[in-house]
């Protein structure tokens, strides 16, 4: 048994050309091409060499094809900074995470999607953020943990592996399930903004239909800004012509970056252009361009995966067992799931699989 699509997936995930894989595996490029094009399957020994060179278990290449995440279905920020090879590798990481999700969905009743779509330009990003806040019952209060909030509303969130961190984050909808893939290297505040930005794509650019609006990235940023810092909530804080000190104090209310709040105030015409430029300069001097000095906000992580792995651990399943089931090595599994997979201790005899327990998620 051999699945050609999975050979292509693994090779692109590892950013290898046919020639590079040929050299690493000691197999001719012509043969690899024939395997990928469904012309012939590799012999068992050849498949072992390919698996070793690509750092996947042999079973990876024998499982059903993974759900493909297509280039046109994803909106990347600053795509010019990213090579096609890097982008394809990240999309393949998304495909593999989606196979992990399928495995979990077979075992647990996970929250159903509750993410409406608002069509641009009928609804502006600001209006979409207000309507979604109302739909989710958030009012004007600061947004809670964004990862938990999305998970409770049926979005599946996974972390991008360390070799994909030139990408901020991306999202897509696959067979009706919305996915967000997150870069976990950024500050907690910027991580929250990334989740809100991807949420903007999910509600404004549903199924990432092309053509997008005139500038999908700006629309997603405007949505994120309005979702995290609702207009009425900001106005109630009396931030007109706010000083840098006042901005630094106020940002803690919404758990946003100082720069994001400053920009929001400028766009709401609460800061003049002069004050905005002054504040930006001052914040940059204080180190707020790339970080949030002295921040007490902790990096958000998955609640859903944590609960799922707790349940699996209590049945005696280890990370190695789960990794074997989803056909990746244990350390790769850990990279997709915010490092939350159960500890590697053999917990003794496992029993029968669970009867699809429902998960209760609180946002
Ligand atoms: Zn984007």
The confidence score (pLDDT) of residue 317 equals 93
Residue 176 buriedness (CB in 10 A; 0-12 / 13-18 / 19+): exposed
> Ligand 1 centroid vs 261 CA: distance in angstroms?
19
* Closest by CA position to 89, among listed 190, 17, 164, 148: 164
Q: Which helix (H) or strand (E) holds 317?
A: none
What integer pLDDT is reported at residue 210 of this predicted model?
Answer: 56
Nearest-angstrom CA–CA distance, 43 and 86: 30
* Contact partners, residue 12, CB within 8 Å, separation at least 6: 85, 88, 89, 91, 92
Instruction: Characterize the bridge pairing of strands 169-174 and 156-159.
Output: unpaired
- The rounded Å distance from CA 260 to ligand 1 centre is 16
Alpha helix ranges (H) inside 55-168? 84-107, 125-135, 146-152
Taking the C-alpha atoms of residue 172 and residue 145, their distance in angstroms, rounded to an integer, is 21
Ligand 1 centroid–CA 148 distance in Å is: 20
Q: What distance in Å separates the CA atoms of residue 258 and residue 283, rounded to the nearest whole number?
A: 8
Query: Degrees (nearest 5) of the Cα angle 170, 171, 177?
Result: 160
Q: What SS3 state is found at 363?
A: coil
Ligand 1 centroid to residue 171 C-alpha, Å? 8
pLDDT score, position 65: 96
257's tokens:
């970056």
Query: Which of 311, 303, 259, 308 minimizes the C-alpha distance to 281?
Result: 259
What pLDDT is stored for residue 350 in this prediction?
45
Q: What is the mean pLDDT of the chain?
A: 91
What pLDDT, on the 0 to 100 scale, is given for residue 132? 98
Tell which residue, 322, 306, 292, has the closest CA to residue 361.
306
Per residue in 234-273, pLDDT (tens digit) is 999 999 999 999 999 999 999 999 999 999 999 999 999 9
Q: How many CB atoms lie within 10 A of CB 234?
A: 21
Cβ neighbours around 194 below 10 Å, total: 25
List domains and CATH numbers for the chain: 1-65 (1.10.260.40), 231-285 (no CATH)
208 CA from centroid of ligand 1 (Å) = 11
- Bigger pLDDT: 325 vs 355: 325
How close is the Cα of 192 to the center of ligand 1, in Å? Answer: 14
Question: Distance from CA of residue 113 to its chain's centroid?
Answer: 16
What mean pLDDT do residues 62-75 have? Answer: 88
Alpha-carbon separation of residue 331 from 156, 213, 334, 339 (angstroms): 20, 39, 5, 9
Residues in the chain: 363
Whole-number Å distance, alpha carbon 213 to ligand 1 midpoint, is 12
Beta strand 156-159 with 177-182 is parallel
Distance CA(239)–CA(308), nearest Å, equals 42
pLDDT in tens, 135-164: 999 999 999 999 999 999 999 999 999 998
The answer to whether residue 274 scores a pLDDT higher than 90 is yes
pTM (two decimals): 0.91
Task: Tell me the per-residue pLDDT of 103-142, one tens digit each, with 9 for 90 and over.
Answer: 999 999 999 999 999 887 788 999 999 999 999 999 999 9
CA separation for the pair 28, 259 (Å, rounded): 52
| pLDDT attached to residue 171 | 92
236 Cα–ligand 1 center, Å? 29
Ligand 1 centroid, distance to 353 Cα (angstroms): 39
CA 324 to chain centre: 23
């Amino acid at each position: 048994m051999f699945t050609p699509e999975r050979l292509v997936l693994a090779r692109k995930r590892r950013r290898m050309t046919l020639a590079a894989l040929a050299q690493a595996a000691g197999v001719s490029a012509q043969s690899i091409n024939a395997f990928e094009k469904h012309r012939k399957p590799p012999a068992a020994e050849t498949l072992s060499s390919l698996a070793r060179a690509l750092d996947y278990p042999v079973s990876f290449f024998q499982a059903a094809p993974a759900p493909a995440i297509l280039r046109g279905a994803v909106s990347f920020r600053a795509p010019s900074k990213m090579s096609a090879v890097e982008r394809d590798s990240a999309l393949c990481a998304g495909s593999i995470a989606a196979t992990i999700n399928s495995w979990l969905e077979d075992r647990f009743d996970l929250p159903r999607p509750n993410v409406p779509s608002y069509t641009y330009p009928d609804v502006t990003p600001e209006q979409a953020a207000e309507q979604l806040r109302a739909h989710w019952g958030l009012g004007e209060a600061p947004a809670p943990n964004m990862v938990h909030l999305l998970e409770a509303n049926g979005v599946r969130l996974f972390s991008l592996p360390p070799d994909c961190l030139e990408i901020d984050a991306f999202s897509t909808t696959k067979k009706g399930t919305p996915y967000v893939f997150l870069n976990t290297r950024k500050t907690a505040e910027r991580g929250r903004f990334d989740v809100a930005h991807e949420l903007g794509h999910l509600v404004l650019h549903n199924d990432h239909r092309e053509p997008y609006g005139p500038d999908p990235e700006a629309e997603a940023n405007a949505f994120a800004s309005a979702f995290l810092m609702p207009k009425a909530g900001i106005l109630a804080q009396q931030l007109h012509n706010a000083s840098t000190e006042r901005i630094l104090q106020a940002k803690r209310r919404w758990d946003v970056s100082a720069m994001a709040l400053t920009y929001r105030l400028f766009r709401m015409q609460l800061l003049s252009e002069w004050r905005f430029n002054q504040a930006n300069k001052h914040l940059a001097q204080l180190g707020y361009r790339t970080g949030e000095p002295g921040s007490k906000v902790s990096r958000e992580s998955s609640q859903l995966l944590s609960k799922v792995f707790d349940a699996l651990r209590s049945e005696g399943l280890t990370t190695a067992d789960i990794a074997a089931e989803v056909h990746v090595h244990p350390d790769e599994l850990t990279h997709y799931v915010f490092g939350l997979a159960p500890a590697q201790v053999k917990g003794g005899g496992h029993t029968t699989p669970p009867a699809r327990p429902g998960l209760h998620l609180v946002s």
